[in-house]
Amino acid sequence: MATDNSDPTAEYRRNQSWLYDSKTGGYVRKTAIGLLTLVIGVFVLFPLYWMVATAFKTTAEIQQIPPTVFPENPSFEGFRLVIESSIQAGGYAGLVNDLLGITVTSAIDINLLALIVNSLKVAVGAGLIAVILGTGASYVLSRREFRGKNLLMSLLLASLMFPGTAIMVPEWELISTLGLFNTHLALILIYGAMTAPFVVWLMKGFFDDFPDSIIEASQIDQCTPFETFWYVLVPMARNSLIASFIFAFLLAWNELVFALTLLDNSKFTVPPGLLTFVQGFNTQWNVVAAASIIVSIPVLAGLAYIQRYFVQGLTGGAIKG
């Protein structure tokens, strides 16, 4: 097809465009994509940065107008106050005085460690409930045919669309009737129930793609249904189970409204606990920020370790069973 006097490669160039097939075009594309990524990155990460920056500022600098982007006189004042408060509220002041000879007195009376322990208790409990109930339910919904199955799935999906606060009042009544007011069990049950439907949908994707022949092979290998579930399905579902657990865990870890209404000061989890640092005009924002950083550390460390499975688990059903 090439005309006789032209470059023989011209024919291959007919479909070329400057943006995609020239070197400069490539640089332009990469720069544009890079800039866009940067803008989105700043948009997403700036609040986190602001929290960290605030934690290292003094109260005076925080109230300065215009605000400073970098702490001018980095100080650990916020962290010191949080730790002192925790030591005092936790009843360790005497111990610290005896051991280190430091007298700890604090105007704030909040034990961060207790908050973290409370939150862990609630979040692990809720995670376990959601994973155990959700996995069992999704296994049945995926493997058995029965009337009303689609309705049930739709109901579970619909329950995810309700904001939690919409069912605040009935939940409150329910918890009162059960006599569980101001107990962590109340929160475990509520968070577990809130996240289980999501776990059902996530795990159903996994079980739908699960090859029948492996289950049949285990039956031929003389497994009871429970043994099949325990030795074959659960190990293979590990990533999805971890993803489900993390989802439920994070929701419980971050939930504020139920925790604030159903518990009192003595049993607070992290979110309402942090809120007590906020005290009207008197709020020491560097303390709030420092406390926030400290409470995120255990979760961040855990997630960093486990996030590989989390991503695999979430995409597992979609890409390969």
Partner 1 sequence: MTHLELDSVKKVFGDPEKEGVVAVNDLDIDVPDGDFLVLLGPSGCGKTTTLRMIGGLEDPTEGEVRFDGTVVNDVKARNRDVAMVFQDFALYPHMTVRENLGFGLRRENNDMTDAEINERVTEVAEMLEIEELLNNKPAQLSGGQKQRVALGRAIIREPRLFLFDEPLANLDAKLRKTMRTEIDELQSEVGITSAYVTHNQEEAMTIADKIAILDDGELQQLGTPDQVFNEPANLFVAQFVGSPDMNLFEGALSERTDSYRIEMDVASFDIPKRLVDTEIDTQDVLVGFRPQDLYQARTRATDGPDFETQVRVVEPVGTEAIVHGTSALGDVTAKVGRFHDLEPDDQMELTIAPEHIYLFDPTTESLLKGRLVTERAEGGASADSVEA
10 Å CB burial of residue 275 (0-12, 13-18, 19+) is middle
CB of 232 to partner 1, least distance (A): 6
Is 138 a binding residue for partner 1 by CB under 8 A? The answer is no
Whichever of 226 and 281 has its CB closer to partner 1, that residue is: 226
Q: 216-219: long-range contacts (C-beta < 8 A, 24 or more apart)?
A: none
CB nearer partner 1, residue 163 or residue 235? 235
- Scanning 70-78, 151-159, 193-201, 211-219 for contacts with partner 1 by CB under 8 A, the matching segment is 211-219
| Residue 222 in contact with partner 1, rule: CB under 8 A | yes
Q: Does 211 bind partner 1 (CB under 8 A)?
A: yes
Helices and strands per DSSP (H, E), number in the chain: 17, 0
Q: How far is CA 2 from CA 5, 8, 18, 231, in A?
A: 8, 6, 21, 65
Supply the minimum distance, in Å, between the C-beta of residue 223 and partner 1: 5
Per rule CB under 8 A, is residue 143 in the interface with partner 1?
A: no
Q: Is 217 in the site for partner 1 (CB under 8 A)?
A: yes
Report if residue 147 touches partner 1, rule: CB under 8 A.
Answer: no
- Contact between 223 and partner 1 by CB under 8 A: the answer reads yes
Number of residues that bind partner 1 (CB under 8 A): 18
Q: Is 183 helix (H, G, I), strand (E, B) or coil?
A: coil
219 near partner 1 (CB under 8 A)? yes
231 binds partner 1 (CB under 8 A): yes
Does residue 235 interact with partner 1 by CB under 8 A?
A: yes
Q: Is the dihedral of CA 56, 289, 284, 77 positive or negative?
A: negative
The answer to whether residue 21 forms part of the interface with partner 1 (CB under 8 A) is: no
Q: What is the dihedral of CA 261, 266, 269, 275, to 10 degrees?
A: 70
Sign of CA dihedral 190, 192, 195, 200: negative
The correct pick among 214, 278, 297, 301 for binding partner 1 (CB under 8 A) is 214
Cis geometry, peptide bond prior to residue 272 (ω within 30 degrees of 0): no
Check binding of 208 to partner 1 (CB under 8 A): no
Cβ atoms of 135 and 237 within 8 Å: the answer is yes
Question: Of the candidates 7, 109, 227, 264, which one interacts with partner 1 according to CB under 8 A?
Answer: 227
Query: From CA 190, how far away is CA 153, in angstroms rounded?
Result: 20
Of 227 and 264, nearer to partner 1 (C-beta) is: 227
User: Could you tell me the two tokens for 120?
Assistant: 């862990």
Binding site for partner 1 (CB under 8 A): 211, 213-214, 216-224, 227, 231-232, 235-236, 238
